[in-house]
């Protein structure tokens, strides 16, 4: 049997491995000149493979739970070790390879796939019923096909969402992204500075974390974790001193010296103090503990870490087979799910890719 995988990111490569493991001859087609570009880009700042989180399932829709039960955080770590990559768990529960980068893991993975007979063809762009290739239009006659075409974020790395022209999909939205803020000129000297240890609230989601003040707004892990609620209209509210009771803040804020001096004595960084003076006037304990930062909307889709939207669960069987295209399966970010950063996103891609590959091989 011939298995075709379209898209050579983590989900596609995982599907290819499982299909080859089942005895299929596997061909992987990738539109870019090289594979797993987004995976490698993510690894430049430290490849967050997964998260050692007892509540991991809660980060995914229920229809994905069978896939995560079979390939969750522990299995991702074992998979990396099986490729010769030692891993460690940080204080936040995030799991990284000791090498930190994605390239050593990818090299080992590609070598294993090659040894299994998996063929990878680059610069092959899917057109819905065939491929545009350096040699002209081409077809691949396959018994089973797995689509792993990605979402619509970071299009320069290959996930451009163009496939939605040929398949039914929920509209794409940015996910895990920053937000625009209309700063005054006084904030310019704080651009690039982190705000550490804040409690961020957006609707019913509260997140203790760090974010960065940038020229265009706010971004970083703490913001990404609550970005779904913010995108859907919730207000961003900060507690800049979450370990200090409001009454204590009020007492320490009293005095006759300047506001700036009093904020520094509270232990706020210059950037955090500037935030208070930007949006918390008149400065009170309440404005420090419940600082509303007005947002001007999310950063565009092409700047988002990932995207929401894609193929809906109701258009798939439990095996991730497209109901409208028997014999064709889908996985990874092209599915309509939204996971926060912190290892959940990659875990979901690997789990769904593995599931689709196993189901495709029969």
- Residue 164: what pLDDT? 95
Q: Look at residue 31 in the predicted model and tell me its pLDDT.
A: 97
Kindly give the pairing relationship between strand 50-51 and strand 144-147: unpaired
- Give me the residues paired with residue 132 across strands: 125, 137
The model carries a pTM of 0.93
Q: What domains are defined for the chain?
A: 2-174+305-361 (3.50.50.60), 179-293 (no CATH)
Contact 179, 236 (CB under 8 A): yes
Residues of the chain where predicted confidence (pLDDT) is lower than 50: none
The per-residue pLDDT for 256 is 80
Say what the pLDDT of residue 312 is. 98
**DSSP per residue, 298-356:** BPPGGGSSEEEEEB-GGGB-TTSBBTTSTTEEE-GGGBS----TTTHHHHHHHHHHHHH
pLDDT recorded at residue 50: 97
The whole-angstrom separation of Cα 68 and Cα 353 is: 11
Residue count of the chain, please give it.
362
pLDDT in tens, 78-114: 999 999 999 999 988 999 999 999 999 999 999 999 9
The closest of 126, 112, 148, 132 to 36, measured between CA atoms, is: 148
């Amino acid at each position: 049997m011939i298995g075709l995988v379209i898209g050579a990111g983590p989900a596609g490569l995982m599907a290819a491995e499982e299909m080859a493991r089942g005895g299929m001859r596997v061909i992987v087609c990738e539109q870019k000149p090289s594979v797993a570009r987004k995976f490698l880009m993510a690894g430049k700042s430290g490849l967050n493979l997964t998260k050692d989180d007892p509540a991991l399932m809660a980060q995914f829709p229920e229809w994905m739970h069978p896939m995560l039960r079979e390939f969750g955080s522990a299995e991702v770590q074992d998979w990396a070790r099986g490729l010769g990559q030692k891993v460690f768990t940080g204080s936040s529960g995030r799991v990284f390879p000791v090498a930190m980068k994605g390239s050593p893991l990818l090299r080992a993975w590609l070598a294993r796939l090659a040894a299994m007979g998996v063929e990878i063809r680059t610069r092959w762009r899917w057109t819905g019923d065939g491929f545009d290739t350096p040699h002209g239009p081409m077809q691949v006659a396959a018994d089973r096909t797995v689509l792993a075409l990605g979402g619509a974020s970071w299009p320069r790395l290959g996930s451009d969402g163009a496939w939605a022209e040929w398949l039914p999909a929920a509209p794409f939205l940015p996910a895990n992204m920053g937000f625009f803020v209309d700063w005054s000129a006084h904030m310019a000297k704080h651009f690039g500075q982190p705000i550490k240890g804040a409690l961020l609230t957006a609707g019913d989601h509260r997140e203790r974390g760090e974010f960065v003040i940038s020229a265009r707004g706010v971004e970083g892990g703490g913001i990404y974790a609550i970005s779904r609620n913010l995108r859907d209209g919730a207000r961003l509210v900060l507690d800049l001193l979450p370990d200090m009771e409001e009454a204590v803040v009020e007492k320490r804020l009293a005095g006759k010296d300047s506001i700036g001096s009093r904020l520094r004595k509270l232990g706020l960084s210059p950037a955090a103090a500037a935030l208070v003076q930007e949006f918390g006037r008149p400065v009170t304990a309440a404005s420090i503990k419940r600082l509303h930062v007005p947002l001007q909307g999310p950063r565009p889709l092409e700047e988002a870490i990932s995207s929401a939207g894609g193929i809906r669960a109701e258009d798939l069987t439990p095996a991730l087979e497209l109901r409208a295209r028997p014999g064709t399966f889908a996985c990874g970010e092209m599915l309509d799910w939204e996971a926060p950063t912190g290892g959940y996103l990659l875990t979901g891609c690997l789990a769904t890719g593995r599931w689709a590959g196993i189901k495709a091989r029969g």
